[in-house]
Chain A
């Protein structure tokens, strides 16, 4: 299973194995990692699963679909060039080693 690392605002990192086919959001929620709210359950409706993808991991990702792109305009913490919705990041082998930083707040 691909390993994904979630880095909290205070710098604490937590690495977990996340099943293929799920999402980076589920990986956080199922492992009880703070900082991802995911109110809409992964439907690109709420923007409360916002993450900043580590610069070293950006190449592993596919581009955001328009829906995600627009929803990113509604994040509670600043939107940055490396902002993504973790529910829209499907876990594939290419994501092994992905590092994401959690924002200060989700709503």
Chain B
């Protein structure tokens, strides 16, 4: 082997985790012409698949698991992506090897940690009863779908996206649904009060009971170990034969921590998505990376974030280094309402409402006169314009947004001379 051969190209890439980010890393490496060995290690049985349908169409429909696959099995074979089934239990950063639960090991030139996150559990008595579910994997969804088929009273703990999406699906399948949320409104950490209020009304109008500011004290079951009721902090008992716990996730950082890498709420990486070890990157739900504007470390949980990270790492490993500056975007479907978010709302102090109907509107969130995020409810065109507006260089002032007859599309069209070009 010649010493001078392309220093930026590692001899082999090992990716831990074959979710949205891990899959995309392997796919993008091959697209960029990376010729070396790629090992994609998956703790899950299924071929790499997408998660968003798990809390939406997949729960309702007859669709089988293959509908969720990102690519068929032949894809990996044709591109010489070695898809390995197994759980990585340790990293040796000095020898540059990973060890699997079955005792096998793989050497790496570069290691990408794409381990995602695991659902938080509820630390109350009865959390282990039959009929109590979380929703993260296809396996979880299969179990939940089976439970839903016979359930009459579903209780959802946590009014975040997954809880509410499941609540909508359960309601549509004819189940009685109660959502219990500890904070005073749904989606409290992720959207503005106005948008949250819209979703609260939407769910109530469909017959879902939404109890905010309520903690859960315990889950009760029958003699056979199946859940029968949810006991609230105020002592009330809600009958339940199905409980979904949707109280957020914890990043899977233990491998990184054991290997001596910096870990906070997520594996700490720099703007190139590199950990403190120049042979190890971390991406997607498990990675805390510096935000473009503030520099604060933060984790994001979205398809776009995992895919964007993966592409950046693949580009770096094939000789095109850069920093991660993509503006985040996200979507959620509940009943026939689509919420789309561009940017990240962090302590906004001003908001501007666009649109006149109660069922379709956009909220523009500003802080100190700077646009932070745009939340669009059934206004896909606003969302697309907002995504363009979040890119470096494009701008919108509070005064402009408040102007008579302001439209996001027109503003963006005037700025950039039209829509031509691509969005992340």
Contacts of A71 in B (CB 8 A): 380, 384
A contact residues around B333 at 8 Å (CB): 43
Majority-rule SS of A interface residues: loop
Q: Please state if A32 and B420 are interface contacts (CB–CB under 8 Å).
A: no
Q: Which residue of A lies closest to B419 (CB)?
A: A73
Please indicate the chain A residues that have their CB under 8 angstroms from the CB of B307 in the complex: 39
Contacts of B381 in A (CB 8 A): 66, 70
Q: Is B236 on the interface with A (CB-CB < 8 A)? A: no
In the complex with contacts A39-B303, A47-B423, A74-B419, A32-B72 CB distance below 8 A: yes
**A107 near B422 (CB under 8 angstroms)?**
yes
Is A40 a contact partner of B384 (Cβ separation < 8 A)?
no
Chain B residues touching A, range: 20 to 34
Q: Is residue B331 within 8 Å, beta carbon to beta carbon, of the partner chain?
A: yes
Flag if B53 contacts A41 (CB, 8 Å). yes
A86 at the interface (CB under 8 A from B): no
- Give the residues from 66 to 105 in chain B that come closer than 8 angstroms, CB to CB, to chain A: 66-67, 69-72, 74-75, 78
Number of A-B pairs, beta carbon distance below 8 Å: 53
CB–CB A67/B380 < 8 A: yes
A78–B420 CA distance with the chains assembled, in angstroms: 8
Are the CB atoms of B74 and A47 closer together than 8 Å?
Answer: no
CB-based contact B384/A74 at 8 Å? yes
Question: Do the beta carbons of A79 and B331 come within 8 Å of each other?
Answer: no
Decide if B50 is an interface residue (CB 8 Å cutoff): yes
Question: 1/0 per residue A12-45: CB within 8 Å of B?
Answer: 0000000000000010011110000001110111
- A61-85 contact mask (Cβ, 8 Å, vs B): 1 or 0: 0000011001101111011000000
**What is the 8 Å Cβ interface bit string for chain B, positions 404-424, against chain A (1 contact, 0 not)?**
000000000000001111111
| A107 adjacent to B71 (CB under 8 Å) | no
Q: Which residues of B contact A26 (CB under 8 A)?
A: 67
User: B52 contacts the other chain (Cβ, under 8 Å)?
Assistant: yes
Residues of chain B with a CB closer than 8 A to A73's CB: 384, 418-420
Interchain CB contact under 8 A, B424 and A107: yes
A40 to chain B, nearest CB (A): 7
The residue in chain A whose Cβ has the minimal distance to the Cβ of B24 is A39
Q: Which residue of B lies closest to A26 (CB)?
A: B67
Q: Let me know if B331 and A45 touch, CB within 8 A.
A: yes
Distance of A74 Cα from B391 Cα, bound (Å)? 14
Inter-subunit contact A79/B52 (CB<8 Å): no
Bound together, the chains give a CA A70 to CA B303 distance in angstroms of 21
- Contact for B380 among A32, A70, A79, CB less than 8 A: A70
Chain B residues with CB under 8 A of A67: 380
Closest to A106 in B: B422
Contact digits for B40-78, partner A, Cβ 8 Å, 1 yes 0 no: 000000000010110000000000001101111011001
> How many Å from the CB of A67 to the closest CB on chain B?
5
Q: Which residues of B are in contact with A by a Cβ distance under 8 Å? A: 50, 52-53, 66-67, 69-72, 74-75, 78, 303-304, 307, 331, 333, 340, 380-381, 384, 418-424
| Known A47-B422, A78-B420; 16 more pairs at CB < 8 Å | A29-B72, A30-B66, A32-B75, A40-B303, A41-B50, A41-B53, A41-B303, A43-B52, A70-B381, A71-B380, A73-B418, A73-B419, A73-B420, A74-B419, A74-B423, A79-B420
Closest 5 CB pairs of A and B: A73-B419, A76-B422, A32-B74, A70-B381, A41-B50
